[in-house]
């Protein structure tokens, strides 16, 4: 059985948890107590990931670290329809990769701010918040234009991709780091669309949304 | 010209397209946080973004299409009037009449949603936007004060859609038509186009630019036009935010925006049952011998109600009759009742059938509820006989919308006597109708229907007396406890005892009132014209407290502590009564 | 006349013990900086291994200045200090002294809300089916049965007794869930605990406590503590449960406006199931608590 080394409150671990659920892949969660135990830095865990961070997956002997790398692997291995990581269309694939890179930025700003507020990490909170707002402005405008084109997702495809999964936790949990989404109405609509996808699971900090009265078309 | 008070105008607060189904928009106007949502019936609600219970933001809540549900304790607020219609911690009790969220004015114009503090205000009329299709451009929040943003927008420059991608020379002119918008017109050879910038003053130092283009471009040019303006505005925003002095933000006074109706328990009047005037908007025969009526308000919005509620109708012949509401949460804007003709009755139904016509005005009471639907049952059985369908129809629609488990069993004389077909149809899966059964056959069906009782199941019965009696005894035999079987005019199961009667003397007025059994002291005082504020009307919040000068109170509240009770010098008038035959209050 | 909301804590708060660090996190020779009541505080260990704390003021950031030492104690796995004149002892949790107990600091998280809002949420049964769905409650089983609230005349502590709520996963063997019984105790304006029947021994109670460290009037570190009789679970497993529950409360608390707790009757609407909350607000007012709250008669 596929194993995910996981911490409940980690935005980065939430990414593979979400995709595993949406792809309906059976898996075991192996809890790694990031806080307060700092188990990810323990000698035992460093045997699995010498860099000492989570998430990590172990799939039939294959070990892979880093949230976005894991998303790419899971989509490649477990999505026969090839929509989550669309290798058949080079332009689309390039776009997905570009948004995965963008999600590194939201992790370094929005999610870093959350670590400061929640667990007292000593990053420059003000810089993290300002950086997150800069990225959210870009993403909100991007998603507004997607809506104008009649598209729902970050990459220009009819179906969601790993880019949506990579961005969702950093955005949906941003208010825990003091980053309000009041100014980003398109971001708020997009997070609701992600929450309505089949197989969506929440985590603490993500509040439930209303189901649509009819299936989205 | 003196600038009008910004709080008396309507301002844009969202784009119409932002109001997606089952979504709640988070916005802000003049420092007030707003939750904006569109119900399934198309009505747009602009509310204070704050649950009256524990201050939770309602913009984080769940829009179920007819009610907005708070995420913290599940309090439900009704579309249109913002009344609290359900408190899950107390499933067997209807919320006190006056509980409601603060609501603001709302209008839709030029593809934008407008709000403000004045009931009479209207969105501005801008000549450039009249008489043609407009295009709402992407709005842009700016961290700069409104005055500075308006000034900056006067220097906005763009190309008309027809001149996009060309380098023909452009002339632009700006016109500050009113203190809250700027119209910028760009002209080039053979093409002219205007953008109107409305400003949403969100809070000191922050506003939202909401641009509208005067003429909608052809579909193939739409995206390019949107992108052209988004880029130009983005540049302007960068300049504005660079030049915006931080201290200007603090110095700018914001007007105080007051809601049309404040939240909480605004005013004591909520506790009374004022009369309403309605008009018969529609009258039709919905079954053999049954007339249905849609009653629409003569002015304003109708008060909300819970499933199971009824109202008094004051008939033209002087009689007063009670009728149950059949509305589910989706039918707003009217009260729908069904009236069965009883030819040999007291004349109420004859009058409704024969003398009340579409367009007639009627006086009614606000809805009251003695037949409260719990929404916490594992399974709800609804059993209707004849015209008894009316309150159960309201209940079935409410349970269906909330996705709860229910079944409706409807006994009628014949197919022709089945009322409200069009409301039953969407509920079809949960509805079973039984036509023309003998009393024995009815009893057999009732035995079958009630044979499985489990914990947290509830049954609601409404119909002719003998049928209710039969159903109750059959259910009791099948193991249904009495508290799980509800029937119309069923007494609230609250542990409070309001059976005493006593006199209350109002020391400051030298007046004595009689409070009879079944009437609360609070309502007795109100009937005598003494307005005491109240809120929960459950003896919990302490709002309706009064000072006792004489007599022994019968404390039934949960607010006062033991020593305060022993002191006997204060009491909560909503639930507490008198142990002595007489009380003296400092009123 | 209406007074405005005070910015500085008065004696009712200054003279209390406040948690400032998890005892186990303190290391000899190392100093932890934290905030308490809007001041910078440093916490470390003295030569005996006892926690010690001192105030960092502008001048005292300068190494040459003599730091103002603060009274410090260790209790319930935390280091506690005071900016005023604290009582000799902190409130007692006698259960913690039982030899077969496991006492542990379970989870701490920063929350942008006042300490009294956090305490009030901890005292609240009605949110279980919404905020802790599937764990502490499950819709549609939402009813809050009546319970008792009293102020102990000897200790002046607030108690809520005979609290009962339907919990879906209270026991592994039950499929329908069961009614759980709780007792709440508020021994300190910013601390609250609940007693819950111990699953392995019905006659004894597990203790779950919330100790709020008020970083400022509207920010807290939400520290949780448990004293349980459990020979099976690992520390990490015990902590995981409290982590989940606290993390579910955080977004609710951060979406409450205002962040300060209003003490005026009528500022927020209360119903019968809120009697613990209503009594807590009155109790805070009677104690003269003026920090983290909007006092009666004050405008916002």
Q: Once rounded to an integer, what is the mean pLDDT over residues B33-53? A: 96
Say yes or no: A70 and A112 in one domain.
Answer: no
CA angle B99, B102, B106 (to 5 degrees): 135
Residue C36: which domain range? 17-81
Say yes or no: A63 and A127 in one domain.
Answer: no
Q: What is the CATH number of the domain that holds A42?
A: 3.40.30.10
Q: pLDDT tens, B508-519? A: 888 899 998 878
Say yes or no: B165 and B80 in one domain.
Answer: no
Say yes or no: B520 and B554 in one domain.
Answer: yes
Q: pLDDT tens, A52-102? A: 999 999 999 999 999 999 999 999 999 999 999 999 999 999 999 999 999
Say yes or no: A128 and A148 in one domain.
Answer: yes
Whole-angstrom Cα distance, residue C150 to residue C156? Answer: 9
The pLDDT, as a whole number, for residue C61 is 53
User: Residue B372 above 70 pLDDT?
Assistant: yes
Whole-angstrom Cα distance, residue C176 to residue B496? Answer: 30
Residue of B55, B538, B542 lying closest to C257 (CB–CB): B55
Say yes or no: B135 and B104 in one domain.
Answer: no
Say yes or no: C244 and C217 in one domain.
Answer: yes
Q: Is C152 on the interface with B (CB under 8 A)?
A: no
Q: Is residue C10 part of a domain?
A: no
Whole-angstrom Cα distance, residue C204 to residue C186? Answer: 19
Q: How far is CA A215 from CA A23, A124, A212, B384, B415, in A?
A: 19, 43, 7, 33, 35
Q: Once rounded to an integer, what is the mean pLDDT over residues C142-167? A: 94
Q: pLDDT tens, B523-575? A: 888 888 887 877 777 787 778 889 998 999 999 887 887 778 888 889 999 88
Q: What is the CATH number of the domain that holds A123?
A: 1.20.1050.10
Q: CB distance A33–C247 less than 8 Å?
A: no
Say yes or no: A52 and A94 in one domain.
Answer: no
Say yes or no: B110 and B136 in one domain.
Answer: no
Say yes or no: C149 and C46 in one domain.
Answer: no
Domain boundary among C81, C107, C126: C81
Q: Is residue B158 part of a domain?
A: yes
Domain boundary among B202, B237, B256: B256
Domain boundary among B245, B264, B283: B264
Within 8 A of C161 by CB-CB distance, chain B residues are none
Say yes or no: C122 and C200 in one domain.
Answer: yes
Q: Is residue C136 part of a domain?
A: yes
Q: Out of A7-21, B314-328, B444-458, C283-297, which region has the weakest mean confidence (pLDDT)? A: B314-328
Q: Is residue A203 part of a domain?
A: no
Residue B573: which domain range? 502-585
Say yes or no: A31 and A125 in one domain.
Answer: no
The pLDDT, as a whole number, for residue C58 is 65
Q: Once rounded to an integer, what is the mean pLDDT over residues B448-464? A: 92
SS3 content of chain C, % helix, strand, coil (to 5): 20, 40, 40
Residue A43: which domain range? 2-78
Q: CB distance B62–A209 less than 8 Å?
A: yes
The answer, as to whether pTM is greater than 0.90, is no
The pLDDT, as a whole number, for residue B268 is 37
Q: Is residue B474 part of a domain?
A: no
Q: What is the CATH number of the domain that holds B25?
A: 2.102.10.10
Q: What are phi and psi of B141, to 5 degrees?
A: -75, 140
Say yes or no: C37 and C177 in one domain.
Answer: no
Q: Is residue A212 part of a domain?
A: no
Contact C78, C225 (CB under 8 A): yes
The pLDDT, as a whole number, for residue C110 is 96
The pLDDT, as a whole number, for residue B493 is 34
Interfacial residues of C (vs A; Cβ cutoff 8 Å) = 22, 25, 34, 105, 107-110, 112, 221, 236, 239-240, 243-244, 247-248, 250-251, 254-255
**Confidence grade of residue C119 (pLDDT, cut at 50, 70, 90):** very high
Say yes or no: A104 and A44 in one domain.
Answer: no
Interfacial residues of A (vs C; Cβ cutoff 8 Å) = 8-9, 31, 33, 35-37, 39, 117-120, 175-176, 178, 204-207
Q: pLDDT tens, A159-197? A: 999 999 999 999 999 999 999 999 999 999 999 999 999
The pLDDT, as a whole number, for residue B261 is 73
Residue of B23, B71, B223 lying closest to A148 (CB–CB): B223
Q: What is the CATH number of the domain that holds B518?
A: 3.10.20.30
Q: Is C133 on the interface with B (CB under 8 A)?
A: no
Q: Three-state SS string across B365-390, please?
A: ECCECCCCCCCCCCEEEEEEEHHHHH
Say yes or no: C151 and C200 in one domain.
Answer: yes
Say yes or no: A158 and A181 in one domain.
Answer: yes
The pLDDT, as a whole number, for residue C96 is 95
Q: Is residue C121 part of a domain?
A: yes
Say yes or no: B133 and B246 in one domain.
Answer: yes
Q: Is residue B516 part of a domain?
A: yes
Closest to C137 (Cα-Cα) out of B72, B466, B422, B10: B72
Say yes or no: A173 and A98 in one domain.
Answer: yes
Q: Is residue B315 part of a domain?
A: no
Q: Is residue A95 part of a domain?
A: yes
Q: Three-state SS string across chain A, please?
A: CEEEEECCCCHHHHHHHHHHHHCCCCEEEEECCCCCCCHHHCHHHHCCCCCCCCCEEEECCEEEECHHHHHHHHHHHHCCCCCCCCCCCHHHHHHHHHHHHHHHHHHHHHHHHHHHHHHCCCCCHHHHHHHHHHHHHHHHHHHHHHHHCCCCCCCCCCCCCHHHHHHHHHHHCHHHHCCCCCCCHHHHHHHHHHHCCCCCCCCCCCCCCCCCCCCCC
Total domains in the fold of chain B: 3
Q: pLDDT tens, C221-247? A: 999 999 998 888 888 888 998 999 999
Q: To the nearest whole number, what is the mean pLDDT of chain B? A: 87
Q: Is residue A17 part of a domain?
A: yes
Say yes or no: A120 and A161 in one domain.
Answer: yes
Cα(first)–Cα(last) distance of chain A, in Å? Answer: 34
Going B124 to B130 to B136 to B140, the CA torsion angle's sign is: negative
Overall size of chain A counted in residues: 217
Quickly tell me which residue has 């015990």 as its tokens: C238
């Amino acid at each position: 059985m596929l194993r995910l080394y996981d911490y409940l409150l980690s935005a980065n671990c939430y990414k593979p948890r979400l995709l595993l659920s949406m792809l309906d892949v059976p898996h075991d969660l192996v809890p790694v107590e990031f806080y307060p135990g700092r188990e990810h830095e323990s000698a035992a865990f460093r045997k699995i990931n010498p860099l000492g961070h989570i998430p990590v997956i172990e799939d039939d002997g294959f070990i892979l670290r880093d949230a976005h790398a894991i998303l790419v692997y899971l989509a490649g291995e477990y999505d026969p329809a090839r929509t989550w990581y669309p290798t058949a269309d080079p332009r689309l694939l390039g776009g997905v990769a570009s948004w995965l890179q963008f999600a590194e930025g939201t992790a370094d700003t929005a999610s870093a701010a959350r670590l400061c507020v929640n667990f007292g990490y000593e990053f420059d909170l003000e810089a993290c918040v300002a950086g997150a707002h800069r990225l959210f402005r870009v993403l909100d405008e991007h998603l507004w234009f997607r809506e104008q084109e009649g598209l729902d997702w970050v990459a220009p495809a009819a179906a969601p991709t790993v880019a949506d999964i990579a961005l969702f936790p950093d955005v949906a949990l941003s208010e825990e780091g003091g980053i309000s989404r009041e100014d980003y109405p398109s971001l708020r609509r997009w997070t609701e669309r992600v929450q309505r996808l089949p197989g969506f699971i929440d985590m603490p900090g993500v509040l439930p949304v209303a189901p649509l009265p009819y299936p989205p078309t | 010209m003196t600038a009008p008070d910004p709080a008396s105008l309507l301002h844009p607060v969202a784009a119409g397209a932002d109001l997606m189904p089952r979504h709640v928009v988070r916005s802000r106007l003049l420092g007030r946080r707003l939750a904006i949502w569109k119900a399934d019936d198309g009505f747009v609600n602009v509310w204070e973004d704050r649950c009256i219970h524990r201050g939770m933001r309602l913009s984080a809540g769940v829009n179920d299409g007819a009610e907005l549900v708070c995420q913290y304790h599940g309090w439900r607020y009704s579309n249109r009037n913002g009344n609290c219609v359900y408190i899950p911690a107390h499933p067997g009790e209807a919320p006190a009449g006056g509980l409601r969220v603060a609501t603001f004015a709302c209008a839709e114009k030029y593809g934008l949603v407008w709000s403000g503090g004045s009931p009479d205000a209207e969105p501005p009329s801008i000549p450039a936007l009249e008489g043609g299709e407009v295009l709402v451009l992407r709005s842009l929040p700016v961290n700069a004060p409104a005055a500075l943003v308006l000034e900056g927008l006067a220097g906005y420059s763009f190309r008309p859609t027809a001149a996009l991608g060309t380098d023909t020379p452009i002339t632009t002119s700006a016109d500050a038509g009113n203190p809250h918008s700027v119209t910028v017109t760009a002209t080039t050879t053979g093409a002219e186009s205007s953008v109107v910038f409305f400003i949403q003053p969100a809070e000191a130092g922050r506003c939202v630019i909401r641009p509208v283009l005067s003429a909608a471009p052809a579909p193939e040019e739409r995206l390019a036009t949107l992108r052209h303006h988004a880029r130009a505005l983005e540049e302007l925003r960068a300049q504005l935010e660079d030049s915006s002095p931080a201290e200007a933000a603090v110095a700018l006074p914001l007007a105080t925006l007051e809601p049309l109706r404040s939240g909480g328990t605004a005013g004591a009047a909520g506790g009374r049952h004022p009369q309403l005037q309605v008009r018969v908007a529609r009258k039709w025969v919905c079954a053999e011998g049954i007339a249905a009526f849609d009653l629409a308000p003569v002015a304003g919005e109708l008060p909300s109600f819970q499933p199971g509620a009824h109202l008094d109708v004051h008939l033209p012949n002087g009689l007063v009759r009670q009728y149950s509401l059949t509305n589910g949460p989706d039918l707003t804007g009217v009260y729908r009742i069904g009236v069965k003709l009883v030819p040999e009755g007291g004349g109420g139904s004859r009058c409704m059938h024969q003398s009340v016509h579409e367009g007639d005005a009627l006086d009614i009471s606000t809805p009251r509820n003695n037949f409260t639907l719990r929404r916490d049952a594992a399974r709800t059985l609804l059993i209707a006989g004849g015209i008894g369908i009316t309150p159960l129809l309201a209940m079935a629609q409410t349970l269906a919308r909330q996705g709860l488990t229910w079944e409706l069993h409807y006994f009628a004389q014949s197919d022709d006597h089945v009322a409200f077909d069009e409301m039953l149809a969407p509920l079809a899966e949960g509805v079973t109708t039984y036509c023309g059964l003998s009393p024995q056959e009815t009893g057999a069906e009732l035995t079958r229907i009630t044979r499985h009782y489990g914990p947290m199941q509830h049954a609601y019965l409404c119909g002719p007396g003998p049928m209710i009696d039969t159903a109750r005894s059959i259910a009791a035999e099948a193991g249904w406890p009495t508290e799980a079987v509800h029937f119309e005019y069923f007494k609230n199961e609250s542990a409070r005892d309001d059976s005493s009667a006593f006199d209350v003397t109002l020391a400051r007025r030298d007046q004595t009132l009689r409070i009879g059994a079944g009437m609360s002291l609070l309502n007795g005082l109100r009937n005598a014209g003494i307005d005491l504020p109240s809120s929960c009307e459950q003896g919990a919040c302490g709002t309706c407290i009064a000072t006792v000068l004489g007599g022994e109170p019968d404390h039934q509240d949960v607010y006062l502590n033991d020593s305060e009770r022993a002191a006997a010098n204060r009491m909560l008038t909503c639930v507490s009564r008198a142990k002595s035959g007489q009380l003296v209050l400092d009123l | 006349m209406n007074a405005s909301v005070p910015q500085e804590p008065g004696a009712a708060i200054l003279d209390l013990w406040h948690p400032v660090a998890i005892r186990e996190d303190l290391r000899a020779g190392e100093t932890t900086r934290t905030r308490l009541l809007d001041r910078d505080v440093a916490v470390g260990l003295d030569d005996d291994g006892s926690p010690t704390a001192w105030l960092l003021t502008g001048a005292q950031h300068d190494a040459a200045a003599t730091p103002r030492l603060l009274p410090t104690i260790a209790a319930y796995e935390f280091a506690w200090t005071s900016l005023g004149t604290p009582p000799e002892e902190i409130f007692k949790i006698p259960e913690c002294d039982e030899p077969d107990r496991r006492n542990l600091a379970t989870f701490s998280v920063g929350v942008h809300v006042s300490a009294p809002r956090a305490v009030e949420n901890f005292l609240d049964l009605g949110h279980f089916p919404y905020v802790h769905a599937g764990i502490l409650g499950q819709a549609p089983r939402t009813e809050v049965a009546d319970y008792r609230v009293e102020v102990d005349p000897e200790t002046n502590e607030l108690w809520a007794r005979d609290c009962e709520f339907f919990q879906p996963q209270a026991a592994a063997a039950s499929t329908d869930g069961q009614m759980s019984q709780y007792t709440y105790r508020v021994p300190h304006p910013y601390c609250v605990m609940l007693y819950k029947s111990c699953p392995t021994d019905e006659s004894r109670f597990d203790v779950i406590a919330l100790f709020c460290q008020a970083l400022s009037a509207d920010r807290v570190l939400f520290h949780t503590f448990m004293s349980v009789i459990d020979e099976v679970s690992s520390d990490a497993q015990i902590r995981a449960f409290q982590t989940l529950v606290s993390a579910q409360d955080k977004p609710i608390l951060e979406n409450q406006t205002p962040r300060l707790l209003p003490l005026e009757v009528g500022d927020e609407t209360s119903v019968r199931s809120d009697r613990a909350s209503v009594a807590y607000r009155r109790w805070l007012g009677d104690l003269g608590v003026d920090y983290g709250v909007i006092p009666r008669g004050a405008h916002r």
